Amino acid sequence: MPRKNPDAAPDGVTRRDFLTSMGAGAIGVAAPDNLFAAGGEAAEPQVMPAGQTSKVSLRINGATHVVLAEPRWTLLYVLREVIGLTGAKPGCERGECGACTVLIDGVPRYACLTLAVEAQGREVTTLEGLMDGEALGPVQTAFAEADAFQCGYCTPGQIMAVEGLLRANPNPSAEEIRIGASGNLCRCGAYQHIFAAARRAAERKRGK
């Protein structure tokens, strides 16, 4: 008597068959509309050669920067390595730590997960854009006064997260501050000071 396959489902479908069919289905769902040309023939894939750049126009801190960038370059890379604005920090570079936070149209975004080409036509604000010449902005000043940092590496991203929060909500509650800062990690654990800095910054922006 043949041995029963322990991976087989009651209807005789094995785990391998199931995974194979699911993989094929996923590929079919993910396929673009123009994968096949008229007549069922495969369309020529449009691939840009490696290293090819194109002009990208970025509005950053009120100034326009026209740069040559590859489509795969992130906004973080272009800010730091092409334009020379190093306030946004590379940390995890996969959207987990928040050290690279900038504002795009006033909303906090991870620059490591945003392609430079995606930022065209948007207003990008970096840490440098919060300053008035050499003078610190209200949120930056509040962080210094509240001693809201230790090593300081995450501080630019923390400041930008709080800046974005206060632009949307000038008088946030303690819980709203915690939620607003939740996308930014501090390995040193200075969260209580960061929350205090956010409250102080809100008061400064309201003129108290």
Q: What is the pLDDT of residues 97-130, one digit of tens each?
A: 999 999 999 999 999 999 999 999 999 999 999 9
3-class DSSP assignment, residue 85: coil
Per-residue confidence (pLDDT) for residue 46, from 0 to 100: 64
Which region, left, alpha or beta, applies to residue 121 given φ > 0 means left and ψ of -120 to 50 means alpha?
left
User: What pLDDT score was predicted for residue 33?
Assistant: 47
Give the residue among 67, 75, 135, 71 at the shortest CA–CA distance from 101: 75
Q: Would 3 be classed as within a structural domain?
A: no
**Burial of 29 (C-beta count, 10 Å sphere; 0-12/13-18/19+):** exposed
Q: Let me know if residue 33 belongs to a domain.
A: no
CA end-to-end span of the chain, whole Å?
Answer: 86
Domain encompassing residue 119: 54-205
Which token pair is 153? Answer: 């590496």
Question: Which candidate, 206, 168, 164, 200, places its Cα nearest to that of 182?
Answer: 164
Total structural domains in the chain?
1
Residue 59 in any domain: the answer is yes
Q: Provide the whole-model pTM.
A: 0.76
- Ranked by mean pLDDT, the top range of 17-21, 25-29, 139-143 is 139-143
**pLDDT tens readout for residues 136-154:** 999 999 999 999 999 999 9
Which residues are CB-neighbours of 29 under 8 A, at least 6 positions away? none
Asked, for residue 5, whether it belongs to a domain, the answer is: no
The two beta strands, 123-125 and 54-60, are parallel
Render pLDDT for 40-97 as a digit per residue (tens, 0 to 9): 566 666 666 667 899 999 999 999 999 999 999 999 999 999 999 999 999 999 999 9
CATH number for the domain harbouring residue 199: 3.10.20.30
| pLDDT score for 59 | 98
State the Cα–Cα distance between residues 5 and 16, nearest whole angstrom: 11
Q: What is the spatial distance between Cα 158 and Cα 135, in angstroms, rounded to a whole number? A: 19
